[in-house]
Amino acid sequence: MHDPIALALAEDLGSGDVTAAFFVEKRPGKARLFAKENAIAAGVETAAEVFCRVDATTRSNIIRPSGSRLKTGDTVLEIEGSLPSLLSAERVALNFLQHLSGIATLTARFVAAVSGTKARILDTRKTVPCLRLLEKAAVLSGGGTNHRMGLYDMAMVKDNHLAAGTTPQQLQAAIGRLRSERPGVRVELEADTLAQVAQFLELRGVDVILLDNMPPEVMRTAVDMTAKRSPHVLLEASGGVSLETVAAIAETGVDFISVGALTHSARAIDFSMELLG
């Protein structure tokens, strides 16, 4: 398994921090990382690990862990150690903190928008390569729910899988094989129309049906149809979801709403490191 912290440090430090040569002695230093705007913290623990990876003698004190609500000026992390080491680690630590807190903050806004409904906000696989585990942890910090981690832990049959003209009989046979070979893996099928929803509800072994790019009134019909025919099947809405549309989608009665923007479009939160002595 790749190590995103090691990759990030190798990218930034390369053969060594040449600016550190301006420090003749490794004099001690202390600093804090703080928010410059209101946000939900995420990646605080990752930032602390960055400082320790650069210099194992660095001492870190997490003041506000991931998931904390932050106001402008709030300290999330204090670090103490060799001043050159703190400065060498600064940018990588802040990059993780800013990016992951952005994801958590945007997720929290979506979660707040569907408050009062049963819908849960899901992430997707639209993540930065090699940062998926950290980004999905940030979604949890913001109150969201993780969808599948990858292609290995949930079967999701999308339109491109069905484009070859797969018949209902072939779908049922494939579901049966998967249930036999990987009994713990959930099965989700993507539906573009109500006719497909009705077709999928006739199949055995389906856990979730994805309602792709359906208007709210059509989703409501799908929710009613599912409740009558197969109440154990869960419904996920996807496509064109924004902060402006998510409440109306949630009010249709779907169980999940997946939002790719949580990870591919979250704005970084502004953090800084301040030397304390």
| Domain match, 242 and 195 both | yes
Say which range, 63-72, 175-184, 245-254, has the weakest mean pLDDT.
Answer: 175-184
**Is the predicted pLDDT of residue 122 greater than 80, yes or no?**
yes
Residues 129, 224, single domain; the answer is: yes
1 pLDDT exceeds 70? no
Q: Are residues 194 and 170 in the same domain?
A: yes
- Where does the pLDDT of residue 272 fall: very low under 50, low under 70, confident under 90, or very high at 90 and above? very high
Q: What is the mean pLDDT of residues 138-145?
A: 98
How far is it, in rounded angstroms, from Cα 48 to Cα 60?
6
Span 17-32, pLDDT tens digits: 999 878 757 789 999 9
Q: What is the pLDDT of residues 7-66, one digit of tens each?
A: 999 999 999 999 987 875 778 999 999 999 999 999 999 999 999 999 999 999 999 999
Q: Using alpha carbons, list the distances in angstroms from residue 234 to 79, 96, 129, 152.
A: 46, 34, 29, 20
User: pLDDT exceeding 90 applies to what percent of the chain?
Assistant: 91
Task: Examine the domain organization and report whether 29 and 159 are in the same domain.
Answer: no
Same domain, 83 and 132: no
CA angle 240, 244, 248 (to 5 degrees): 80
| Cβ-based neighbour number of residue 78 at 10 Å | 17
Amino acid at 192: D
Q: Do 224 and 119 belong together in one domain?
A: yes
Question: Residues 194, 259: one domain?
Answer: yes
- Domain with 82 in it: what CATH number? 3.90.1170.20
List, by residue number, the catalytic residues.
91, 126, 158, 190, 212
pLDDT (mean) for 133-162: 94
Give yes or no: residues 93 and 119 share one domain.
no
Q: Where are the beta strands (DSSP E) in the chain?
A: 28-35, 39-40, 59-62, 69-70, 75-82, 120-122, 154-157, 186-191, 208-212, 234-238, 256-258, 271-275
Q: Which residues pair with 61 in a beta bridge?
A: 78
Q: What is the pLDDT of residue 24?
A: 59
Q: CA-to-CA distance for 46 and 89, rounded, in angstroms?
A: 12
Mean local confidence (pLDDT), 97-119? 98
Higher per-residue pLDDT: 225 or 25: 225
Phi and psi angles of residue 157, each rounded to the nearest 5 degrees, phi first: -90, 110
pLDDT(91) > 90: yes
> Whole-angstrom Cα distance, residue 33 to residue 94?
8
What is the count of structural domains for the chain? 2
**What does the pLDDT look like over 149-201, one tens digit per residue?**
999 999 999 888 877 667 889 999 999 999 999 999 999 999 999 999 999 99
* pLDDT of amino acid 191: 96
Within this chain, do residues 260 and 132 fall inside the same structural domain, yes or no? yes
In angstroms and rounded to an integer, the radius of gyration of the C-alpha atoms of the chain is: 23
Residue 202 lies in domain: 112-264
Distance CA 244, CA 173 (A): 40
Q: Give the domain CATH number at 203.
A: 3.20.20.70
206-215 pLDDT, tens digit per residue, is 999 999 999 9
